[in-house]
Each structure stands twice: as C-alpha cells, then as structure tokens.
Chain A
C-alpha cells in the first residue's frame, strides 16, 4: 500500500514521475511569475522565464505593450534569446540567423532563394505566442496564448493581500538573492504556510507579530494570511518599524500569502517581499527573494533606523542558545528565520525515504498544509495535454 503524507503519497515528494507530472499539469498550465514590471523597463528590452516545460520570453514593443513568445526558433527549435537583454526591432536565432520581428513574424530567412528553391511560407512560421500580463507590479506569463485572465485567477484573493502598491515602491537591491534548498518544492510551500511552526521554530525570530491572532484562509488554490503586531512591537509601532512605512497608518500587520503555484509574498507595514519557489528536481528547489521598500530619501531611512534601533537591539536571537549550537554556522543559533526554515525543510526531506517514516496527525495550525495538498491533487487529477 502507498505510504501517505496526509492527502498525498510520500512519493509525491520524492519521485521523478510526480515531479514530471507536476511540471506538465501544474507549472505548464498556470500563470507563472516572470519578474517585476521594472525588469522590462523600455521598448526593446526582454527577459525570459521557465514556466514548467516552457521557456517563454517577454519583450516590450514601441507601443509599451509586452509581448510573450515561446523561446523556440521555428526552424529547428533552438532557444532564440538569452536570459535578459535589449534589442532594436528584431530577434535573430543564433543557429541559422532566421529573424523575427517583435510581433513574432518570421521576417527573414538567409539564402532563402537557394536554400528553399521551392519557396517557404514565412507567414506560417511565426513564433508561437504566450500570454503576459502585469498585476501588482509583477509580470506573469502563461504558456497558453488565451488563458483565463489574471482577474479570473487572482481576483478573489486580491482583497486579502494587503493595501500595498508594489509598483510605487523601490527595489532594495542588497536584499535580492537566490539559493537552493535540498527539499521538494511542496515541502518548502508547506513550511511557508505552516501556522503551527511560527511560535516554535521561529520562537525567537518572528515574534514581532502575534501568531495567536493570525487570520488565514483560501480563495481557490491561493492561500492568504494576516497577523497583527505583537503587543510589544505594536506598543510603539511607528517608532519600531525598521524602515519608513509603505502603507497608510491605519493598516498594521503582516500579510504572508502563498499564491499558487509557489509564489510567496511577505508584506508588512514597511516592506514588500517576494519569495519565488521554483522546483528543480524532486528533492531540489530554488528560491529567489526580492524586496521593495518605501520610495523615500536616505535621510528618512536613517531617521527611521535610529528611531527603531532601541527595539531591535534587544530583539531576537537563535532558537538554540550558544552552548547548544552545533558550531558557529548552526542555523538554529543564527537568529535568522530563513536559515531556520531551510534547515527544517532539509531535515524533513531527509526522512522521506526511510521505511520507518510515518506521518503524525495534522494540527489545527497545519490545516493550510492539507489544503495545499488538496490543491495539488485537484490539478493533478485533471487531464493534462
């Protein structure tokens, strides 16, 4: 009999077959985060992104509209463009120099007369379009050129994501980073939405918010979460915020939703963060973090930094005290909640192959985990292409 991990077989977290099916059934059939709107700032700029089995590139035309195409030369399939860049009016494949305009039309075939003496119908050899749209300052792509709109996909959860306007904030480049976690992507998602662990794994790192008063739920496959500041932090909230506010003062708390599949947001009174989860292998996942802060002067930043320094000086610390730490790099003594989460995910993944593994009952604060597993099942159950 199949061994279960709540609603999913354990195999869903370890096997290549599940991984491949998820790439087809989930990541090739949903809107995929592709970057921030400012990543394609002007006509001619482009970026590319992997959406499940599809590599898709996005380019801005002179009308300031984005176009998305499958990054596949119609000649012999070579990827047309590299990760990011800028072009004038045309995209040329490196292999045989077939050239496309920014509408995806094939406009030139070298040596056309001699290589294709019977003629070649360029009209039928345009790049295959995909869909692209911008929502809350983020670019999304969909492999299908005519998918349900982003309004249909995110419309219901939108109201639960906080009053932030990411398009008006500025990226804080030092916070941009990317790393790999040796665990299945669903383990990482489950960790992100596990309400139970907040008070325990992060007992010393995230207690500026009051986990006991968290409000969370689902809109379709998307998870939303909000919690208010803790009494200590909230007492002098305006003073304690480490950086200038980004939302009106009547709003307080942390909004930490997980949009399907695997796009975590983390927004508070003074910042807006992205946590982009990309499955690489059954037991390997890449995370990309990006942070946006107030569009304020450095003087305002240092002023707020000074005001709040007293609170943060005594705040936090490792879950384990120095003397319990394994060594100087022990994540459990780091005082960094991300290091704590990575550690927990990797330790959990290690056990999934053990014949003695037996998952215990899910706690109330773990209901998001079982619900996310259900969302996975819903997608996997539908016939793929």
Chain B
C-alpha cells in the first residue's frame, strides 16, 4: 500500500438522486492499474485545492473490484468538498487520488459458502454496494441480504441498480427497504416503515434464516446506527467476530475528555526511527507533520484508517476510533490522527 497521490482523469461525472449525490468514475492508466487494485469496501482519498486550501476527503469505492473505479459523493450541507465536486468538476478534469485502502473489506472466495447480511443506511450503502456486487459475481456459492434504510424512495442511492441485481440474482440476493418518511404521493411501499432498528433486524433474520451457515454481518450507516445494529445483533446471540462495520456519514463524536500530555516519542516510519517531541494537546500526526516527517494520513477524522500505527510502548488516548475494530485495538493499533499521549514516553511503529 502506498500513500502517494497520483493524478487521475475523471472519465464520467453524473448527478444522482436529483443532484443530491455525484458519481465520479476515474480512468486508471495502465501503469497505475496495479496500485489502484481494490477490494470491496475500500476507500479512495482525494486531495483537492479549493480556494488555495488543501482538502483531503475519503470516499468509498462504490463498484466491485474489476469494474471501473467509481465513487459516489453525497452532498453535505455547506460541505466544501462534496459541493465542489458536484458543482465545479467535470469530465476530463484531473484529480489527485491516493490508491485504495481501508480495513472494512469483503474478500470473496470462489468456493466460500456464506450468508452475508448487509445493514446500511443513506450513503453508507456505497461500500456495501461494492461488497454485494462482489459476492454475487465472485462468490457464486454465497447469498446476500440487504436491509437498507433511507428517508424516502427518492433519496435512495443505487435504487435502480439494486432492483436490477434482485432480478439478475433471484435466490441469491434479497432486498428490504426501510423508510422513515413515507411519501403520501407515492404508490410505493417499502418492506418496513421506520429505521433499521432491533425489531426490523429480528424480522429480517427470521424471514430469511441462513442456509449457508457461515454467516457474516456487515453494517455501514451514519451516527449511532452501527452501534445500535451491532447491539441488536448481539442481543440475538450473533458473535462479535461475525460483525463488521464502518462508521459513515456524520463524523462520530469526538471524545475530548482527555487532554493529553507532552511526551517524547520514538517513531519508526519507513524503516527509520525518529525521536520527536509532542506538545500537550497535540496529536501524534500533528507532531509528526510539525517535525516534517511524512506519515500516511488522509481523512484526519478517525474514519479512514490511513494513519494507523502500532503503539509498542506507552499509552495514548484516542478521540475517535471509528476506523478500528476491537481486534485491531487489542493488537495495539491506534489512529495517529486521533491519538494524544497520556504518558511521557511512547514508541510508535508504522507497518
């Protein structure tokens, strides 16, 4: 995995759901094909200069591996980057893009025989959409069930594409829409009204009990949805090692209750070890950049996982840990963009 940016050309740019989102397809030149190979669920980081200021954003790749490199960017109210992409960019533009990465991924197995349950809401569908496609195409003995929450049918990303999948793979893919705001004017009725909550989850699990017994649960939604779905699954005895999730959309709240102290850190990056000071309140990433090292990073908000490293000595507080699973943390992994020291000496290792 390299963390260098490469210039890619936009091959296609298209508004979705009445302009509330933008789909961007990139051309990947032959010499970058290897570097830009991805797995379903991974992200792409864009670096844009907007009004003289550098912005980095991570977006999930919404196509399965082997298809065209595509992201779907939902507009955020007053969002600098999402609106810039929707309003200012066009086919033929060149954008700086970092090769795909991310640990929320589904690796298909041609002989794997699994039942995948996907719980998504809003733009959280993007990684799930790639995963569902990869299951249907590259894991032929497995099935996928999607439980998909949205406000209305109109605001539902990939609605037509998902319908098409249901027709193309009867018996292997099922789709359940859950909508919170039903339109009076539409004949359309979703599977359930409301949100993807405990009742909805229980109903789905008993409607389609698994045939293939290697069952995996994938969750991607905004705000507290992930934690809620996980809790509901665990209440049904689903073991945690079968639950995979990624926070999406609204950045999860930061835990700033711990201030962090000043410290000296020994940091091993690209095989070289550096000794550097960290000021109180400074994150490891900020300290490294201040010391003019070039550590990997992307979203700077704890979501993408690009900045992860292992603390081999000492302890840190993480303000946000959305990009890490419990098992990562057990291994000592931290997000350097979110970590402040709580002891005076640290050893940190990038892998």
Question: Which A residues lie at the B interface, using CB under 8 A?
Answer: 61-66, 102-103, 132-134, 148-152, 155, 167
Contact = CB atoms under 8 A, between A and B. Distances in A.
B262 to A, nearest CB: 38
A65 B213 contact: yes
Contact of B215 (A63, A149, A152): A63
Contacts of A103: 237, 239
B213 A132 contact: yes
Q: Which of B212, B236, B237 has the most CB of A within 10 A?
A: B237
* 7 tightest A-B CB contacts, nearest first: A64-B209, A151-B141, A61-B237, A151-B113, A152-B111, A149-B113, A63-B236
Given A63-B237, A64-B210, A132-B213, 9 more contacts: A61-B236, A65-B215, A102-B237, A134-B211, A149-B112, A149-B214, A151-B112, A152-B111, A155-B111
Q: Is the interface of B mostly helix, strand, loop or mixed?
A: loop
Contacts of A62: 236-237
A66 B238 CA distance: 11
Contacts of B111: 148-149, 151-152, 155
Contacts of B215: 63, 65
B206 interface: yes
B155 to A, nearest CB: 30
A64 B112 contact: no
B205 A63 contact: yes
Nearest to A60: B209
A149 B112 CA distance: 6
B237 A134 contact: no
B106 to A, nearest CB: 16
Contact of B213 (A66, A148, A152): A66
B233 interface: yes
Nearest to B210: A65
A38 B109 CA distance: 28
25 contacts: A61-B236, A61-B238, A63-B205, A63-B215, A63-B233, A63-B236, A63-B237, A63-B238, A64-B205, A64-B206, A64-B210, A65-B215, A66-B213, A102-B237, A103-B237, A133-B212, A133-B213, A133-B214, A148-B111, A149-B109, A150-B113, A151-B111, A152-B111, A155-B141, A167-B211
Most B C-beta atoms less than 10 A away, residue of A102, A150, A167: A150
Nearest to A167: B211
Interface string B178-219: 000000000000000000000000000110011111110000
| Residue in A61, A65, A132, A155 with the greatest tally of chain B CB atoms within 10 Å | A65
Contact of A133 (B109, B113, B206, B233): B113
A62 B209 CA distance: 10
A134 B114 CA distance: 11
Nearest to B209: A64
Nearest to A104: B239
Contacts of B141: 149, 151, 155
Contacts of A63: 205, 215, 233, 236-238
A155 B212 CA distance: 14
A50 B206 CA distance: 29
Contacts of A148: 111
Contacts of B113: 133, 149-151
Contacts of B211: 134, 167
Interface in B100-119: 109, 111-113
Contacts of B214: 133, 149
The CB with the most chain B CB atoms within 10 A, among A63, A102, A152, is that of A63
B95 to A, nearest CB: 41
A66 B115 CA distance: 12
A65 to B, nearest CB: 5
B229 to A, nearest CB: 13
A62 B205 CA distance: 9
Contacts of A134: 211-213
A133 B111 CA distance: 14
Nearest to B239: A103
Contacts of A151: 111-113, 141
Contacts of B212: 133-134
Contacts of B206: 64
B276 to A, nearest CB: 39
A220 to B, nearest CB: 13
A149 B108 CA distance: 13
A64 B215 CA distance: 10
Interface string B112-128: 11000000000000000
A150 B214 CA distance: 11
Nearest to A101: B237
A302 to B, nearest CB: 33
A343 B245 CA distance: 60
Contacts of B238: 61, 63, 65
A138 to B, nearest CB: 11
Contacts of A65: 210, 213, 215, 238
B215 to A, nearest CB: 5
A152 B206 CA distance: 28
Nearest to B202: A62
Nearest to B215: A65
Contacts of B205: 63-64
Chain B CB count within 10 A is highest, among A61, A148, A151, for A151
A149 B109 CA distance: 10
